[in-house]
Structure 1
Amino acid sequence: MILNFFNQFMSPTLLGIPLIMLAMLFPSALFPKPTKHWLNNRLSTLQAWFLMMFTKQLFLPINTPGHKWALISATLMMFLMTLNLLGLLPYTFTPTAQLSMNMALAVPMWLSTVLLGLRNQPTTSLAHLLPEGTPTALIPPLIIIETISLFIRPLALGVRLTANLTAGHLLIQLIATAAFVLITTMPAVALFTTAVLLLLTLLEVAVALIQAYVFILLLSLYLQENT
C-alpha cells in the first residue's frame, strides 16, 4: 500500500455528499452570540474587545469611506482564522488548504476594491498604472507590467494562503510518520522527532493566525489605494 500524503487535502464525502459546506459552517457555531444584557460574559467581552482592537488598527490609515468594509473584513478574518486553526486538529479537513476556495474569497474582494476605486476616483485609480515622470518610451511596457501586477494580486492572495497551509500540514504529517516508524527501532530519535513535531505544531498555530491576518491586511491595502 502506497501512502499518499495529499489524501488529507481531499474533500471528505459521506454517502457521496461533500462535507466541505459543513466544515465551512462549523466555525459559526463556535462564537458566542452577544446577549441583550448590558454586561456580557467573559468570552463575549473578550471577543468584542479583540474585534474592536483589530478593526481599529486595520482601518486607522484608511479613509472614512473605506470604514464601511470593517464588518466584512473582521468577519472574513475570524472565518479564515477559525478554519485554519480547526484544520490543525486530528482527523479534520481544512477548507482553506483548497486553492479553489481561497480564490473564491480573494477574487471577489479584490475586484470589489478595484471597481470601488474606478467608480469613486477613476483618475487616481488609473494613475497607479503609470508612475509620474515616466519617459515616453517606457510608457507602453510600464502600463502592461502594472496591469499584469494588478491582475496577479488575487492570485497571490489565494496561492499564499494555500501554499503556507499545505506546506505546514505536509511537514507535520511527514514528521509524525517518521516518529511513528522510528519508535520501535530508534526510540531516542523518535523522541527527538516528537519534540520537533510539538514545536512545529506551535509554529503552525502561529502561521494559521498570521496568514489569516495577512490576507485581510493585503485586502485593506488594496482598499486604501482605491478610497
Structure 2
Amino acid sequence: MLSFFDQFLSPSYLGIPLMALALTLPWILYPNPTSRWVNNRLLTLQGWFMNRFTQQLLAPLNHAGHKWALLFTSLMIYLISLNMFGLLPYTFTPTTQLSLNLGLAVPLWLATVVIGLRNQPTEALGHLLPEGTPTPLIPALIVIETISLLIRPLALGVRLTANLTAGHLLIQLIATAAFVLLPMMPTVAILTATLLLLLTMLEVAVAMIQAYVFVLLISLYLQENI
C-alpha cells in the first residue's frame, strides 16, 4: 500500500530530479506577444487579463510601488500555472512543497521590509510600537509585533502549501473511495464521483484564488513600506 502523501514527493526519472522541468514548463506554454496591431484571440485574452489584474492590484499602491507591476503580474501568472497544471493527471504540483513556497515568500517579504527601512525608517520601526501604548507594555508589545512581522513569510508559504495539499489529498481520497465502491454499491459510487467532480471544480477555484492571495498579501506588505 502506497501512502497518500507519495504524490507530494519530488519526482525523478532515472535518478534525475524533474523539479526543474516542472518549474520551467509554464514559461514555455504561454505565447509571446507580437508587434502586430491585431493579435489572435489567445494573445488578446492574455493581455486583457494581465492588464485588468495589474490595474486592480496596483490601485491601492502609491506611485513608487508601481515599479513592482511586472514582478507581481509574472508571479501571479506563474503561480496560477503551477497550481492549475498540478490538477492534471500524472503531473506534479511544485507549490505543494513548503521549501519552494518559502523560497518565493521570504525574499519578496524581505525586499518590502528593506525598502521600508531604507525609505522611511521611522515609520517602519513605528509599526512595532503603536502610538499611545502604556509604558509597562512597551517591551512585551515590541516583542509581539516583531514576532508577527517575522512570521509573515512563514504564513505566506504555509497558507499556499496547506490549501493545495489538503485539496489534492481530498481528491485522491474521494477518487479512491469511488473506485472501491463501484463494484459493491454503484449508486453510492456515482454519488461519490459527482462529489469528486464538484470538488475538482472547487480546487480549480482554489488554485487561482491562492495564487491571487499570495501576490495580494505581498502587495499589502509593500504598501505598508512605501
Normalization by structure 1: what TM-score? 0.99
**How far did 1:39 drift?**
1.3
**How far did 1:14 drift?**
1.2
Q: Distance in 1 between matches of 2:124 and 2:220?
A: 13
Q: Which residue of 2 aligns with 1:187?
A: 186
Aligned-residue RMSD, C-alpha:
0.6
36-45 vs 183-192, greater mean Cα deviation: 36-45
Q: Which residue of 2 aligns with 1:78?
A: 77
Q: Distance in 2 between matches of 1:132 and 1:64?
A: 27
**How far did 1:40 drift?**
1.3
**How far did 1:64 drift?**
0.5
Q: Which residue of 1 aligns with 2:160?
A: 161
Q: Distance in 1 between matches of 2:46 and 2:195?
A: 32
How big is each residue's C-alpha offset from its partner over 1:85-143, in whole Å with a ceiling of 9 and x where there is no partner?
00000110000000000000000000000000000110110110000111111110000
Q: Which residue of 1 aligns with 2:59?
A: 60
How big is each residue's C-alpha offset from its partner over 1:199-223, in whole Å with a ceiling of 9 and x where there is no partner?
0000000000000000000000000
Q: Distance in 1 between matches of 2:13 and 2:196?
A: 31
1:75-224 alignment runs, 5 A limit: 75-224=74-223
Q: Distance in 2 between matches of 1:97 and 1:196?
A: 23
Q: Distance in 2 between matches of 1:203 and 1:30?
A: 24
**How far did 1:36 drift?**
1.5
Q: What secondary structure sits across from 1:11 in the alignment?
A: coil
Q: Distance in 1 between matches of 2:2 and 2:28?
A: 34
Q: Which residue of 2 aligns with 1:16?
A: 15
How big is each residue's C-alpha offset from its partner over 1:132-191, in whole Å with a ceiling of 9 and x where there is no partner?
111111110000000000000000000000000000000000000000001000100000
Q: Distance in 2 between matches of 1:105 and 1:186?
A: 46
Q: Which residue of 2 aligns with 1:36?
A: 35
1:45 is aligned to 2:44: yes
Percentage identity across aligned positions? 70
Matched positions, count: 226
Gaps of 5+ in 1: none
Q: Which segments of structure 1 move beyond 4 Å, counting only runs of 4 or more? A: none
Gaps of 5+ in 2: none
**How far did 1:21 drift?**
0.6
Partner letter of residue 195 of structure 1? Answer: T
Q: Distance in 2 between matches of 1:51 and 1:36?
A: 17
**How far did 1:3 drift?**
2.5
Partner letter of residue 187 of structure 2? Answer: A
**How far did 1:76 drift?**
0.3
Q: What secondary structure sits across from 2:142 in the alignment?
A: helix
Normalization by structure 2: what TM-score? 0.99
